[in-house]
Structure 1
């Protein structure tokens, strides 16, 4: 019996096919890393170097501009910026994922989600490397933070954030492929979210307008990992919201899957 191509399957069938192709997604991720190494010469070390340079230079400057105590501000900024950089890169990858997905139309049995799972691997490993650089910086600036961090909560936060990005990867791909004008403004859109999210500044700075933070899903995606690392606690509200985002993302993915499939096919034929 001929195996179906992903454009001939429904949402559930494609996810079941993906479960059998985790190794293939891993190989696609390794191929992307090899391509990055050929282009930049850095490969997996690139996220480590990137976050190290950004935090040391930008974090120090912003701490002085905001008149913050560097021993408190650098750990906050380092963790926040590492997570935000991972999120923004993941959104950018998802926004252009349909072009890669179209390459697998002619391959029977392959899930259309393999590209998104490869991006999820990239997010998880890149953020882990960034956090390693952050840990070195924090150990130098304020080792007390690492002594009292909740590492179990932090690991859970990273896993949930990765899952949330995976759940929303298909809707993001569809929106930015359906309305391609948004792709041209993607850096500006990400920068606007960056400014509205407590990364350069503490949430306490806008206590009079707390709703800007509370209704910002990116804040909760960052906070579920940042809170355990910096405060040693469990941000239960943020955890609940991110779990809800995962379920909502799967529901939206189920709804837009047929429309995205048609969009990819029409652009492929054209």
Structure 2
């Protein structure tokens, strides 16, 4: 089967999901139609056609895809368009996220070619899967793309694809909610460079005063602002954050030593 167009969609506040999606897409073509919805989930996306391929990636937040992209994905429409959904998680578990993403896409008219769950550095810090996706992860992603490409080339019609068994549960686990309010604190060594406001996917770091969070309730705790700050002046200090991150906290005890590997479904 011949493909006439390759598109990508991703939400990637700390660029880990973007890195995986691009590694897969570049195996298919050097000409990619990209929808980066990290900062704008209102983008208008034309309906996808049967001779196209969509590679879509989402990070995992609490075992689900982020609540703020769910409606965007549900609104995607296709006419038997081939699709490769991937999720990226911080070495804990992807739980229902890949199934959820795949379900929404199938309901919108996509045909799933293959799917994958990859590992990226946890948003809470480099102590958990630091530096991932690494070279090994990217090589796995490229090999996954090659096998997916061969699978497409070996079929004559989208109707030749059999449904892939993707792990997860129905109903999905309860979605991580933004109603638990906690936000980054800005330390006195902030020099107002503004790097943090440029990477906040919610746009809640004040443009004129980057020390100020304009709407705490919208913070999704992606920690993009923390990771980008050249002064290390943005920090998470809340009780909720420390509960997971501290030396004897949940994440450090369960996710910081054993490095998980990508799980691929063909």
TM-score, normalization by structure 2: 0.27
TM-score, normalization by structure 1: 0.27
**Structure 1 or 2: more strand by fraction:** 2
Higher relative contact order (CA 8 A, sep 6+): 1
**Structure 1 or 2: more helix by fraction:** 1
